[in-house]
Amino acid sequence: MTTSLRLSLLLAVGAFMAIAPAASQPPLQVIQRGVTPNGFRSSVKGWNSFGINANPHTTPSFSFSQTGVTSQCDVLATNTALRDAGYIYCSLDSGWSDGSNGDEYGRITYNSSIFDIPSLADHLHDEGLELGVYVVPGAFIADEAKTVHGTNVTIGSVCSGDSGLSRCNFDYSQRATQEWHDSVVNQFASWGVDLIKLDYVTPGSPDNSASLPSDSSGAVIAYHRAIAQSGRSMRLDISWKLDRSQEYFDIWESNADSMRTDQDINNSQQSTFVSWGTIQRAIENYRQYITTVMQYNTTTTIFPDMDNLFVGNPAAISGITDSERQTVMTHWLGAGSNLMVGSDLTNLDDFGLNLLTSSATVAIGEGTDRLPMQPRNPGTGNNSSQQLQAWIAGPDTSGAAIVVISNYGPDQGEGGFGTSLSGAQTVNVSWADLGISGTYSVHDAWANKDLGSHNSSFSLQLDEGQSVMYQLRR
């Protein structure tokens, strides 16, 4: 990859003071992440089917079927680098289940014309992989006359109306409602499911032309309880662009393992997966998320999900340049976000594979799973949206930290910063901006290059869409 990066570390006290006076910067509050409600200590890594399904022109040979999914997910097992880096989840998005009704008890079941979920789970488990499935809140309206498994209660007596997705709305105060969720998750457990993605949760999810209920947070609680009683270890990932107010964040954090911070980022029905303007929006939504969450508590127990990761394929397929692909990976890693690849795994290029699996990727991910990054504006140390931005994760108890510095290029409409600085820009970031002090050894993670010991600031040039990620150690 060609870049116009020019780095010079300013060591003189006068130069340091010219960048930003230390007294003006707010103190750094380190954000930490604990064990999730379902017992997980790391974000999820793997592959999700939605990107290719929503953008079929990127991968014309793909069919959303057991054969098509297996052809993608087998790459996770056979590619040593992906396997060793921990990409083990094969997640089916919308379309795997019967779309009109459940089984005789109204439980969600698979579309047998394209999938045999138990056999798919067996195949994946034999390869050391794990299976994820997609659901939305509620039972099918068509199943209201059916009886909840193990009870004499009809679904329609505890679930009524129309959620806008051909599902009824449960009364979560009723015992039978929890029993329906238990029956669904127990069946998933018997099939060998390892992850449940619960979509269209409100408040938060845009209607997307569906008249969603204003509050389906009870579904998150019910699925969490169902997982707990099932006896099987499962992740619960919830989406999309969920309400960040403390009332609801407390529900998400107490029941789910990750939560979507943005809506879908993929291009729809296009020949490329994603556009840079949408990436700007996704980064801005993470900034809003983390700056809101840290007002409640600097220790969280839920991972952010910035949506699928489209960095694996060349620019003609991914839709973004190599520099932009690196910036995407940098921010998803720095956030400790889920790393669910949406790319065509059968067409990975060397650059994309390295982004996903390098030793730096693995090491940084292990760190930011525990200590996610937060914004620290160059010049002030504040956390507002800016085109020329800095972030820090940590420091940890040993003093080690991750620093990200970026030029997002002109705001394409949803970046949040509203400026249009074109071309390469000089970015000045002081230790005080970052909220740290002292002497650090600096390592450029992507270039795999030691930059020596320094104690004051960075000054560097970054092209549009370009970022650097530095590892700082005492």
Q: Kindly state whether residue 392 falls inside one of the protein's structural domains.
A: yes
CATH number of the domain within which 231 lies: 3.20.20.70
- My answer on whether 355 and 403 are in the same domain is no
Catalytic residues: 199, 264
Measured CA to CA, the distance from residue 436 to residue 430 in angstroms comes to 9
Q: Within 13 A of 441's CA, how many CA atoms are on the CB side? A: 6
The reported pLDDT for the residue numbered 322 is 98
As given in the structure block, the two tokens for residue 286 are 């993470």
- My answer on whether 367 and 381 are in the same domain is no
Tell me which of 160-174, 196-210, 436-450 is least confident.
Answer: 196-210
The residues near 174 (Cβ < 8 Å, ≥ 6 apart) are 158
- My answer on whether 202 and 260 are in the same domain is yes
- My answer on whether 137 and 16 are in the same domain is no
- My answer on whether 391 and 464 are in the same domain is yes
The reported pLDDT for the residue numbered 208 is 64
How would residue 205 be classed by pLDDT, with cut points 50, 70 and 90? confident
Measured CA to CA, the distance from residue 322 to residue 301 in angstroms comes to 33
The residues near 194 (Cβ < 8 Å, ≥ 6 apart) are 89, 130, 131, 132, 232, 233, 234, 235
Rg (CA), the chain: 23
- My answer on whether 237 and 97 are in the same domain is yes
CATH number of the domain within which 17 lies: 2.60.40.1180
How would residue 141 be classed by pLDDT, with cut points 50, 70 and 90? very high
Mean pLDDT of the 27-40 span: 97
User: Alpha helices of 276-321 — where are they, by DSSP H?
Assistant: 276-296, 315-318
The reported pLDDT for the residue numbered 6 is 41
- My answer on whether 328 and 464 are in the same domain is no
Q: Kindly state whether residue 404 falls inside one of the protein's structural domains.
A: yes
Q: What pTM was computed for the model?
A: 0.94
What's the domain count of the chain? 2
Measured CA to CA, the distance from residue 390 to residue 331 in angstroms comes to 11
Q: Kindly state whether residue 295 falls inside one of the protein's structural domains.
A: yes
- My answer on whether 292 and 239 are in the same domain is yes
Nearest to 315 by CA among 304, 305, 324: 324
Around Cβ 42, how many Cβ atoms within 10 Å? Answer: 16
**Structural domain of residue 295, as residue ranges?**
39-372
As given in the structure block, the two tokens for residue 54 are 């929503």
User: Alpha helices of 146-256 — where are they, by DSSP H?
Assistant: 175-191, 217-230, 246-255
Q: Kindly state whether residue 61 falls inside one of the protein's structural domains.
A: yes
Q: At 449, which helix (H) or strand (E)?
A: strand 449-454
- State what percent of residues in the chain have pLDDT above 70: 95
Q: How confident is the model over 41-91, as pLDDT tens digits?
A: 999 999 999 999 999 999 999 999 999 999 999 999 999 999 999 999 999
6 burial via Cβ count (<10 Å: 0-12, 13-18, 19+): exposed
Residues in the chain: 474
- My answer on whether 361 and 462 are in the same domain is no
* Domain stop point among 345, 372, 399: 372
Measured CA to CA, the distance from residue 459 to residue 461 in angstroms comes to 7
How would residue 24 be classed by pLDDT, with cut points 50, 70 and 90? confident
Q: Kindly state whether residue 33 falls inside one of the protein's structural domains.
A: no
* Domain stop point among 372, 402, 430: 372
Is there a contact between 9 and 369 (Cβ–Cβ < 8 Å)? no
Measured CA to CA, the distance from residue 435 to residue 22 in angstroms comes to 9
Backbone angles phi, psi at 472, to 5 degrees: -110, 130
Q: Kindly state whether residue 148 falls inside one of the protein's structural domains.
A: yes
10 burial via Cβ count (<10 Å: 0-12, 13-18, 19+): middle
- My answer on whether 351 and 393 are in the same domain is no
Is the pLDDT at 19 greater than 60? The verdict is no
Is there a contact between 387 and 463 (Cβ–Cβ < 8 Å)? no
Measured CA to CA, the distance from residue 296 to residue 225 in angstroms comes to 24
- My answer on whether 176 and 252 are in the same domain is yes
* Domain stop point among 352, 372, 392: 372
Q: Kindly state whether residue 464 falls inside one of the protein's structural domains.
A: yes
- My answer on whether 286 and 359 are in the same domain is yes
Q: Kindly state whether residue 279 falls inside one of the protein's structural domains.
A: yes
Q: How confident is the model over 245-284, as pLDDT tens digits?
A: 999 999 999 999 999 999 999 999 999 999 999 999 999 9
